Structure 1
C-alpha cells in the first residue's frame, strides 16, 4: 500500500455493508487507535499467550476466538498474568475478539496500560477472517489514477481512453442510454487485487457518477437514468483507445494481433478505435465487448476467420475461382 498509512481507526471507520461489513467496535485501548496496520494478515496468538514469543507475528492484527478466550479465563483462574504482560510487550496493531466475546478484566486493563486497541465483533472467527482479508486485499492493493471513463458493457469493464475532447464522455453517455452502466467519468482509480485482477472505481465516490458534457455541463447519471445505470466498481477487462482518424496510419483490420496495455503489472487487452464523423462509436464498443466475451469463452473470431481461409485455399476452391475470373476487357 502506498500513500497515507492505514490505521486501526481507519479500519473502524470503513463504510462497509452486506457481506463485507466487519461490525467492529472498540472496547478498550482507545488511545492506541492511531496505530498503523502495516501487514495485510491476521494471527491467532495462542502460543504467544502461553509465553512462547519466538517467531511471533506481532505486526499483524491479533484474532481472539473461543479457544483464545477460554485460555484467558484459565490464566485468570491461575492468576497468571505475566504471560499477558509479556504478550503486550509486542508492538501489535490491535486485538479483535470474535463472537462478541469479552476479554478478562486483567487483559483489558493491561491493554489500556499499553495503549493497545481491543476490538469486538459479533462475527465468527472464520467469517471475520474471510472478510478482513478481503478488506486488506483492497486497502493494501497497489493503485493508480487514470484519466478516462470506465463503463460496463455487456458485463465487460471497459476503460475509454483518449485525449481531451475526443468524445469519451459523449460515447459513454450514449452507452448508458443504450442500457449499459457508468462506473466513473474523467478520473478513474484502479487497484491490482490478488496480483492479476484490476478493479476500477471513481477516485472520488461522491462525484464519480456525475458526467461533464461539453455544451450541457454537469449531469447526474443516477438521477437521470436511475440507479440501474451506475455501479460502484468493476473489473477492467478491456481498454478502448479513442483517437482522431489518421489516414496515414495502418489500422488493424483483422484483429489477429492482440495488443495489450500494462496496468499495475497486469496486461489488459487494448483496441484502437479511430474517431471521425459518421462512425457509430457506441455500436463499435458494444461489438468489442461481445467479442471480448467470446474470447474469454475460448472463441476467437479473427483466428477462426484465418483458419477458414486456409481451409478454403487448401481445398483448391480458391484456385478454381481465380482461374475462372475473366480479366479481358
Structure 2
C-alpha cells in the first residue's frame, strides 16, 4: 500500500484554504495592479474583484496589492508569486485541456485483449501487421483468463468471445460484432474410418478429445463458450487450448470439435481434414466486449475500428 507523504498532506491542507478559481484573478491583479482593469478583463464587477482580493489576502496572509488605485504597488510576497503563478496557470491549462484525438502514428499505448488461442491466431498477425505500418508505438498483449463479470472485464481493455457468453456480462458493457462461426469436426487426413459427415451418435461412439477451459467451469458456461459441448460427455483427453486439439488429432485416431475458422487454418497443413457434424446448435457468433467504464481510455475507439478492419481481412 502506497502511503501519502507528509509533504503531500501539507499541500492538501494548504489547497483547502484557497479557492483555486481565484488564481486567474490573482494573476491579473498582479499583472495590472488594478481592481478596475481586472474586473473588466473577467467581466466582473469591481466589488466582486475586491471580495476576491480580500479572500486572496487571507489565503496568502499578505496584502499582495498595497493602496489599490492609480499608485498601487505589489508587496514583496506578491512580486515573488508573479512568475511561479503564471507558470502554474500555464501548466494547469495544459493539464485540464481536453485531450485531442488519439494519434496512432505517434502515441504509445498498451492494450490487453483477453481471448481464446484460436482468436489470437486469426487476429494477432493481421493486427500486428497493421500496427507495424500505422501504429509503431502500440503494444498488443493477448492473454486468456476466464471473465465472468463486468468487474473482470474492466481489468482488461477488450475481451473477444462468443455472444452467448458475452450477453451474461451485464448492461455496462459495450460490444462489437466480429464474425459468425460454426462448430465442425476435425480428423486426421489419414483416418479414413471417419466419414465426411458425422451424426451425434457417430461422434459419441468415436474416440475424441475436447476443449475444456477449466475443470471448475460450469456446464452452462462451457455451453456458452462451445455450443457442441453437450456432445462431448466422455472425451479421452481434454485440453484448455483449441490449437492443441489439432496436434492431438494429427497424431492419433481421435477427432475433435472446434470452430470452422480455426479448423480451416489447421487443415491447411494437409495432414488434417474437416468433417461436418449434424448438430443443430453448432453456430456461434464472435464479438468483442469492453467495459463502458473504460470507454475514455486512450486508443480504445481507434482499436475498435482496427478490429473491424482486421476482421474484414480474414479469409
TM-score of the two chains, using structure 2 as the length reference = 0.26
Higher radius of gyration, 1 or 2: 2
Identify the structure with bigger relative contact order (alpha carbons < 8 Å, sequence gap 6+).
Answer: 2
More helix, by proportion: 2
